[in-house]
Amino acid sequence: MAEPVRSLLLAGVGGQGVVLASMIVAETLLRAGYDVKQSEVHGMAQRGGSVFSHIRFGPAVESPLVPEGTAEVLAAFEWAEALRWLQYVRPGGAVVADVRRVVPPGACSDRRAWLSSYPVIDATVLREREVKAHLIDATALAADLGNVRAANSVVLGALAAYLDVGRDYWESTIADLVPRGTAEVNLAAFRSGAEAPAALIDLPAPETGTGFVPARIEVNESWCKVCDICSRVCPEYCLDLDGDTRLVVVAPDACTGCRLCEMLCPDFAITIHHEGQVPALATTGAGP
Amino acid sequence: MTVDTRVLLSGNEAIAQAAVEAGVQVAAGYPGTPSTEILETLARHGEIDVRWSPNEKVALDVALGASLGGVRTLATMKHVGLNVAADTFMTAAYTGVGAGLVLISADDPGMHSSQNEQDNRFYARLAGVPLLEPSDSLEAKEFTKLAFEISEEFDTPVLVRTTTRISHNRGVVTTEARRVRETLGFSRDPSKYVMIPAYARRRRPVLLERLEELTTYVEESPLTADIAGDSTVGVVTSGIAYRYVREVIPGARVLKLGITHPLPMDRIKSFAAEVDRLFVVEELDPFLEDALRAAGIDVEGKAFFPRAGELSPDAVRKGFAAAGVLEAPAPVPEPPATVVRPPLLCPGCPHTAPFLVLKRIGAVVAGDIGCYTLAALEPLAAMDTCVAMGSSIGMAVGLAASGGTEKPVVATIGDSTFLHGGIPGLIEAVYNEADVTVLILDNGTVAMTGGQEHPGTGVTLQGEDTRPVDLVALCRSVGVDDVRVVDPHDLAATYREIEGAIAHKGPSVVITNRPCVVAPTKVKDHPFTVVAEACTACQLCMTAGCPSIVWTDETFEGRRKVAIDTTTCTGCTLCAQLCPPRAIVLDPEWEAPGRG
């Protein structure tokens, strides 16, 4: 059997430059003499959604898509995206991941536990899958070089260390494809990623939620003139008007006790009762 | 072949390259994922007349006219765009062409960026035109060039159907020089080009005869390729499915169909007779499978391979495993839990505030196709319908006519979508006196497809200034009395104008006019930051769903306070307008670029 077709996967968040990075990888492999197919999805996903790119190379490539469990390296420009595509990595393959976090607002929506749904950064999740975990703080390395936008080149440098493709092919491609005026910083970033071993980085400790404090909304209807101020500001949409005649608590269980309605009511018609001890949150040094 | 002429091109770029090499002189289309980059690439050539039309039907009208005028012509659109152009397409099969006319339909199996995953191969059968299905970038180029030859030889429009995996897959392509033929000029021929019933009746048999001739051509075409292999399993396939079949079961004998309408049924029958088990592997609907069955061929297909969604090597392997042809693939462990990451409206998006207002008002919102459709998702969750380009206004009129809701009925539609298909809906609202409010979300670009120009922007696809459509004058001219314009970054004014328009009896229009934050110019204004001591963690800012606002470790009464990522904040001021304790302020540490 001839030289087999090989697979790589690149992943990140819309707007991070995943498409350009995968064009650089594909062009590098073409220049190194391989047949290459590279496939990604444009359009809606690029509005801050999850973006991934399949790259396949070898003497003659058929499918542009990587079969599950076959990728040699998954290069992720963001931590949560490294986890999302893990089923594509073959046993013994490598995951090169920037530990940068892009937290979507939807991760901050659990108003019961007040705990972000963003996954904890922890290399053991990867090692349990029998893949090499190569975590780097690419964004910090790029910032040290003077341009955080060069973080992708740091990740590509780390990816290149797993492939037997000449450094010259990488560097000439990067110089040709990155935006004008940024070749120097991107080449420096690429080298720092290629040469720095999987650096020991300080991983933030897992955090805990604060727990839910039930709150109750009390409306004194005889004072309420149905002016609609409270129902227009309630962040949880707890309050609504019944026609123009009456204020109704339509979603009492959604109240988080923020008191906006109580404080903004010009007629002191609303009182919020916190029903329980308000807890303190243990500070971990990490954001959500 | 020398290494120097080999370049990596996406399927869309390869189609543009084919148009260049085939000597295309006019190209028209409407942006739509995954087709958009074809014309964007072609526009950079310089010598070709490449244009965005207001919608796909007009684009195909322009293309047909140019073809009759004697020059090779390309029309491009996404799959659902062909629904819009179908009226012209069906009868263009009767008129035939002047010079070559090729229509690209870029389908979107898996609905990566679409409202449905219709299989446009059926359009070729419906219209009676030849259909070519490339399987990678190289074929995208070669098949498109051949499509022009077929178009001229058989006097017919030709449909080239790609899918997302062809259009957005880069592969190695060899390029050649452009060759332009002498312009044929327009030859007057009313019996061929004026489709009154008397003439159309004469063209219908011509179309059927042409299909017979095409069938003979396809039987002999090198695009019908018999790939040697073990005859215990034979596979008839086309397009991207061919690549997955070759990947997964390289030993099987394969009949690869490059032209899938009309079908080379004699070739297929003899292939079927020479293999023990015959499979059809195709993406989406059983287009080939049903045709084979109708021809009396015993075949297996959709019993094993999915009809919904995109195919993949894994799906094809599972299908052959279910059929007992391959061993079942080793189970791959599920990925670990990670955060859900749907696409979002950008930080500073001018569409956010109008939907915040609509959510508060509690309107029934008929939405439309564009970035603003993302307002259907949490936390805005302020859209009730979204069906097709321009449907919002007519559907709002219908919702109001039904009497099925006591809430105000509002249609929301982007500027380009309004010009594409919304204007007749607005005329309907005026003509039949509907009490609806239409929000035209004018961000000055076709944002979702990557920021294309349109007739309202005042710039053509080739970057030249042109006369922009005046939306206010347009709305007034069709008879809307209450037309308002508001800056959607002014939350109070947006609230006031939308409420005022809803209070108006009869049709009203509110135009929110603020440019998109990413196209044509990436907006980066003075970012905001949160004064943590002042934040009461009320979460009101979070109701806007801005990607720049996240929770921090600090709490107030057990609730998480928020922080703003100043690197992504565009300074739109919306959260600062929302914040009751005024904890959101201009970032004092920010330095404007280039002003230091």
Stated pTM of the model: 0.95
Q: How does residue B596 score in pLDDT terms, banded at 50, 70 and 90? A: very low
Please give, one letter per residue, the 3-state secondary structure of B144-181. HHHHHHHHHHHCCCEEEEEEHHHHCEEEEEECCCCCCC
**DSSP code string of chain A:** --PPPEEEEEEEETTS-HHHHHHHHHHHHHHTT-EEEEEE--GGGGTTSEEEEEEEEESS---SSPPTT-EEEEEESSHHHHHHTGGGEEEEEEEEEE------GGGG--TTT----SPP--THHHHTTT-EEEEE-HHHHHHHHT-GGGHHHHHHHHHHTTS---HHHHHHHHHHHSPTT-HHHHHHHHHHHHHS-S----PPPP--------EEEEE-TTT-----HHHHH-TT--EEEETTTEEEES-GGG-----HHHHH-TT--EEEEE-SPPPPPPP-S---
Shortest alpha-carbon distance between residue A232 and chain B (Å): 6
The structural domains of chain B, ordered by start, are 5-220 (3.40.50.970), 224-322 (3.40.50.920), 352-512 (3.40.50.970), 528-586 (3.30.70)
Q: Which CATH number fits domain A6-195: 3.40.920.10, 3.40.50.2300, 2.60.40.1250, 3.40.50.2020?
A: 3.40.920.10
- Check CB contact under 8 Å for B344 and A47: yes
- Nearest CA-CA distance, residue B129 and chain A, Å: 29
Model confidence at A2, pLDDT cuts 50, 70, 90, reads low
Query: What CATH number has the domain spanning A216-273?
Result: 3.30.70.20
Nearest to A105 among B330, B550, B580 (CB): B550
Closest of A129, A12, A118, A45 to residue B338, by C-alpha: A118
CA distance A173 to A189: 14
Cβ–Cβ below 8 Å for B539 and A49: no
Q: What phi and psi, each to the nearest 5 degrees, are found at residue B549? A: -105, 125
Distance CA B127, CA B426 (A): 31
Residues 570 through 589 of chain B touching chain A, CB cutoff 8 Å: 580
Contact present, B566 and B590 (Cβ < 8 Å): yes
How many other CB atoms are there within 10 angstroms of residue B298's CB atom? 9
Is the Cβ–Cβ distance between A28 and A59 less than 8 Å? no
H or E element, residue B49: strand B49-52
CB atoms within 10 A of CB B468: 14
pLDDT in tens, A250-280: 999 999 999 999 999 999 999 999 887 766 5
pLDDT higher than 80, residue A5: yes
3-state SS assignment for residue B236:
strand
Q: What Å distances lie between residue B447 and B107, B203, B522, CA to CA?
A: 20, 42, 12
A8, β-bridge pairs: A55, A73
What is the mean pLDDT of the segment spanning B90-107? 98
Instruction: Tell me the CB-side half-sphere exposure of residue B229, using CA atoms within 13 A.
Output: 22
Map residue B363 onto helix, strand or coil: coil
User: CB distance from B594 to chain A under 8 Å?
Assistant: no
> A39: closest CA among A63, A51, A55, A58?
A55
pLDDT at A286: 43
Is residue A173 a contact partner of residue B7, using CB atoms and an 8 Å limit? Answer: no
Residue with tokens 């104008």: B497
pLDDT for B517-538, tens place per residue? 998 999 999 999 999 999 999 9
Helix (H, G, I), strand (E, B) or coil at B134: coil
Q: What is the ipTM of this complex?
A: 0.93
Question: CA-CA-CA-CA torsion for B392, B396, B398, B401, nearest 10 degrees?
Answer: -170
Give the residue extent of every domain in chain A: 6-195, 216-273
Span B88-112, mean pLDDT? 97
Q: Do B378 and A14 touch (CB under 8 A)?
A: no
The residue of chain A with its CA nearest to that of B341 is: A49
Residues comprising chain A, all counted: 288
**Confidence at residue A43, expressed as pLDDT on a 0 to 100 scale:** 58
Side-chain half-sphere CA neighbours of B27 within 13 A: 33
Over the stretch A139-159, which tens digit does the pLDDT of each residue have?
999 999 999 999 999 999 999
Residue A91 corresponds to which amino acid?
Answer: P
Residue B360 contacts A, CB cutoff 8 Å:
yes
| Confidence at residue B253, expressed as pLDDT on a 0 to 100 scale | 98
- The residue ranking higher by pLDDT, B491 or B331, is B491
Evaluate if residue B200 carries a pLDDT over 60: yes
Instruction: Give chain B positions within 8 Å (CB) of A108.
Output: 542, 550-551, 560, 562
Q: How big is the A-B interface in CB pairs under 8 Å? A: 243
Of B334, B345, B543, the CB nearest to A235: B543
Question: Which residues in chain A are contacts of B555 at CB distance < 8 A?
Answer: 114, 210, 280-281
Counting beta carbons within 10 angstroms of the beta carbon of residue B17, is it exposed (0 to 12), middle (13 to 18) or buried (19 or more)? Answer: buried
Residue A94 phi, psi (nearest 5)? -120, 150
The Cα B78–Cα B517 span in angstroms is 25
CA–CA distance, A133 with A123 (Å, rounded to integer): 6
pLDDT digits (tens, 9 = 90+) for B146-167: 999 999 999 999 999 999 999 9
Distance between CA atoms of residues B82 and B392, nearest Å: 19
The full length of chain B comes to: 596
Which of A40 and B360 is assigned the larger pLDDT? B360
Q: Which two tokens stand for residue B277?
A: 């088990």
Q: What is the pLDDT of residues A172-219, one digit of tens each?
A: 999 999 999 999 999 999 999 998 766 555 566 666 666 677 899 999
- Model confidence pLDDT, tens digit, residues A10-38: 999 988 889 999 999 999 999 999 999 99
Is the Cβ–Cβ distance between A69 and B330 less than 8 Å?
Answer: yes
- In terms of pLDDT, which residue wins out, A80 or A46? A80
Whole-number average pLDDT of chain A: 89
Closest Cα of chain B to A56: distance in Å? 10
- Residue A278 tokens read as 């308000």
* pLDDT, mean of residues B240-248: 98
For residue B142, give how far its alpha carbon lies from the nearest alpha carbon of chain A (Å).
17
Measured CA angle at B559 (ends B556, B560), to 5 deg: 90
Residue type, position B570, single letter: T
Residue, of A109 and A213, whose pLDDT is higher? A109
Whether the per-residue pLDDT at A3 is higher than 90: the answer is: no
**Lowest-confidence segment of A35-44, A245-254, B286-295, B513-522 by average pLDDT:** A35-44
Using CA atoms, how far apart are residues B36 and A43, in angstroms rounded to an integer? 10
Cis peptide before B354 (omega within 30 of 0): no
User: Is B532 in the A-facing interface, judged by CB distances under 8 Å?
Assistant: no
Quick: pLDDT tens for B11-33.
999 999 999 999 999 999 999 99
pLDDT at A112: 85
In whole angstroms, how far apart are CA B553 and each of A117, A206, B559, B579?
14, 12, 10, 19
CB-CB under 8 Å, A108 with B550: yes
Residue numbers in A near B164 (CB within 8 A): 41
Using pLDDT thresholds of 50, 70 and 90, give the confidence band for residue A113.
confident
Q: Per residue in A35-72, is it b (16+ CB within 10 Å) or e — as a string?
A: bbbbbbbbbbbbbbbbbbbbbbbbeebbbbbbbbbbbb
Q: Compute the distance between CA of residue B74 and CA of residue B466 in angstroms, rounded to an integer.
A: 23
Distance of alpha carbon A82 from alpha carbon B236, whole angstroms? 37
Mean pLDDT across chain B:
96
pLDDT number for residue A201: 58
**Nearest-CA neighbor of B392 among B362, B356, B361, B428?**
B428
pLDDT at A282: 45
Cα of B174 to nearest chain A Cα, Å:
12
- pLDDT of A288: 44
User: Which of A36, A63, A256 is the best residue to mutate to test the B interface, defined by the most B CB atoms within 10 Å of its own CB?
Assistant: A63
Look up residue B56 and give its amino acid.
E
Confidence of residue A283 (pLDDT cuts 50, 70, 90): very low
Short-list A210, A209, A216, A211, CA closest to A257:
A216
Among candidate residues B33, B345, B516, B549, the one with its CA nearest the CA of residue A48: B345
